[in-house]
Chains A and B, each alone.
Chain A
């Protein structure tokens, strides 16, 4: 073991705390959540032994045995066996065990031990074992297994240095141990695991678990579903009412900067770019940071508490009716935040057709990039009143309605797809339900910070770039006096061309202008309109101070606004989603299919909405 940096893989059952250990040891920020199947690809990070020698750690997807059932689990097997292309086999394994579930976790551990690599066992989640009334003897376990066993509590960073010392020792003193063959069949493997678990268990006091009482309520056939819907409802209400003060403050701050720049610098090309393109355009998107963080906050709570698998349980019946499984509900829920990680998360779905269908409908979930669009239009056209004297805000209710339309649309699409292009066996659904845990505030704050950063980086790169290009297209050529600059410009004329196509579904020039740049990302629809408005406002201070929402409310009919919302429920306007779909389906066929069917649906939905609204006199 001299020369090369030793690589050490973290392996074990799903949800054992591998990624938590990985993060604690390397300082990385891998996603951690309380359900099986969070990590879906291998990830390397750097750490070092106490004396400073560097090591490379590998975090792997959790799996139950060396025989994988899904894509993510296959990665684990390939890495551990050294079968992954261009990757050397790990020099040592850290087998991560859930101390409160030894019987089960030891089965895979025994299989891994039989590989004969230098191995250390991390007896993790000892705090949860104690909560469940278990007292374990790590030394005894070590004797039974024939490898070092180190007690750890990954989330409190306990046992980390001991773990590294043990790994170092195991690599140094390793002698091939090919003799410890794993028991030949499942039953004897399980018996042996059970015997070892028994031997290592010093004391087992039955404790009355409050978690069972929680499940009795949360998984109730009727009550559970009501709770699920209520949770989603509160989530979208909060996005509106709780986040508004923060968003208003941000908007105010950007306005102040804008006025300052206009008042301080002479009117030239650069000032126009900064004020109309960056401050008005990108700023219009940045003000949505607070609502987006609220949305993420709720999703993080659901993920950390262990509720995700309960939601999957409740939705399985409905998902099953359209040929999917409850398992697919987890990536779909994650897609509320963003469809890209949602689509990656489908790797844990065993059935290929089930997975493909879930990928194809993931863009229908109300992702956070839609919030700016929805919020802007709802804010402009829906009064901020409460429904019939109740504390329920009308705006939040409409947002909730849009979100439900996304889900219903997704289920209907799945129903059709599963009977046509992704026909196949009925999907199965087998999943472990993790114990409930209190969300760890540290983790949540860090995850929120991470999301905020990603959002701001997005605003600073793809959104800013698209908006600046649009600003250039809208600024040249200079319109003669008396004509609208936006309509006269190159960009305006392109939009007029598109307007012909989208006029039947009620879209006006403003929308046509926003649609093309919004292909890059949905939020750009908002920054594009803000930029166009700022250019139109010119130096007119009153017009500039007028909020984008108010301007839109004055120029669009309600029917047009509703059609625009309906469009965004379906339209696949996100380059990243298309790119990730191409990667995850290995080719252009499915992303193209996805873009095609979603645009067709978007056009139809916007059209139907518009014509209906016009029929009701809202045109």
Chain B
């Protein structure tokens, strides 16, 4: 059985590990892009989205990357294209 994934991180189902295929760096400010990379979010790395938003809004998104858990905004997650992890 294949799991069909929406192809941006913002739409990816929670709790399923995905690999980052591409990040549209132009969709965010330089500072935001740098902080993403400092968190380890780069092409090729594997992440698991875990928690998304509250009753107030879809924002933010919490995900694990390596041994870290980080919070980012949906706007950035929408700029990250993902593919199923091997």
Which of B29, B52, B57, B69 contacts A321 (CB under 8 A)? B57
With known contacts A219-B51, A317-B53, A187–B34 Cβ distance under 8 A: no
**CB-CB nearest in chain A for B60:** A316
With known contacts A132-B67, A320-B59, A430–B36 Cβ distance under 8 A: yes
Please report the number of residue pairs spanning A and B whose Cβ atoms sit closer than 8 angstroms.
Answer: 115
| A428-449 interface with B by 8 A CB criterion | 428-433, 435
| B8-33 interface with A by 8 A CB criterion | 29, 31-32
Give the distance in Å from the alpha carbon of A212 to the alpha carbon of B36 in the complex.
22
**CB-CB nearest in chain B for A350:** B31
Which of A219, A225, A313 contacts B55 (CB under 8 A)? A225
Verify B66–A316 contact, CB threshold 8 A.
no
With known contacts A313-B60, A350-B31, A428-B32, A65–B54 Cβ distance under 8 A: no
With known contacts A309-B71, A321-B57, A430–B40 Cβ distance under 8 A: no
Give the distance in Å from the alpha carbon of A186 to the alpha carbon of B37 in the complex.
7
What A residues does B79 contact at CB under 8 A? none
Residue interface mask A219-232, B partner, CB < 8 A = 1: 10110110000000
Which of B34, B35, B59 contacts A316 (CB under 8 A)? B59
Residue interface mask B51-76, A partner, CB < 8 A = 1: 11111111110100011111111011
Residue A278 CB within 8 A of the other chain: no
Verify A430–B73 contact, CB threshold 8 A.
yes
Which of A190, A312, A316 contacts B40 (CB under 8 A)? A190
**CB-CB nearest in chain B for A224:** B54
Verify B35–A64 contact, CB threshold 8 A.
yes
| B33-55 interface with A by 8 A CB criterion | 34-40, 42-43, 50-55
Give the distance in Å from the alpha carbon of A109 to the alpha carbon of B55 in the complex.
39
Interface size class of A (residues with CB under 8 A): 35 or more
Residue A78 CB within 8 A of the other chain: no
B26 smallest CB distance to A (angstroms): 16
What A residues does B73 contact at CB under 8 A? 316, 320, 428-430
**CB-CB nearest in chain B for A434:** B69
A280 smallest CB distance to B (angstroms): 47
| A319-333 interface with B by 8 A CB criterion | 320-321, 326
**CB-CB nearest in chain A for B61:** A313
Verify A313–B62 contact, CB threshold 8 A.
yes
- Flag the segment in A99-107, A163-171, A295-303, A337-345 that touches B: A99-107
Residue interface mask A143-156, B partner, CB < 8 A = 1: 00000000000000
Verify B71–A221 contact, CB threshold 8 A.
no
Residue A215 CB within 8 A of the other chain: yes
Which of B31, B39, B54, B75 contacts A432 (CB under 8 A)? B39
Residue A67 CB within 8 A of the other chain: yes
Verify B72–A100 contact, CB threshold 8 A.
no
What A residues does B43 contact at CB under 8 A? 187
With known contacts A350-B31, A429-B72, A320–B67 Cβ distance under 8 A: no
Verify B59–A317 contact, CB threshold 8 A.
yes
What A residues does B37 contact at CB under 8 A? 186, 190
Residue A69 CB within 8 A of the other chain: yes
Verify B34–A69 contact, CB threshold 8 A.
yes
A35 smallest CB distance to B (angstroms): 11
With known contacts A314-B54, A429-B71, A104–B60 Cβ distance under 8 A: no
Verify A430–B56 contact, CB threshold 8 A.
no
Give the distance in Å from the alpha carbon of A430 to the alpha carbon of B71 in the complex.
5
Verify B68–A104 contact, CB threshold 8 A.
yes
What A residues does B36 contact at CB under 8 A? 430
What A residues does B50 contact at CB under 8 A? 212, 215, 219
Given contacts A224-B54, A312-B71, A432-B68, 10 further A-B contacts (CB under 8 A): A64-B38, A69-B31, A216-B51, A313-B51, A316-B57, A317-B57, A318-B54, A430-B72, A432-B69, A435-B69
Binding site for B on A (CB under 8 A): 64-65, 67, 69, 100-101, 103-104, 107, 132, 186-187, 190, 212, 215-216, 219, 221-222, 224-225, 309, 312-314, 316-318, 320-321, 326, 350, 428-433, 435
Q: What are 19 A-B contacts with C-beta separation under 8 Å?
A: A64-B38, A103-B66, A103-B67, A186-B34, A186-B38, A186-B42, A215-B62, A312-B71, A313-B51, A321-B57, A350-B31, A429-B59, A429-B60, A430-B36, A430-B39, A430-B73, A432-B68, A432-B70, A435-B69
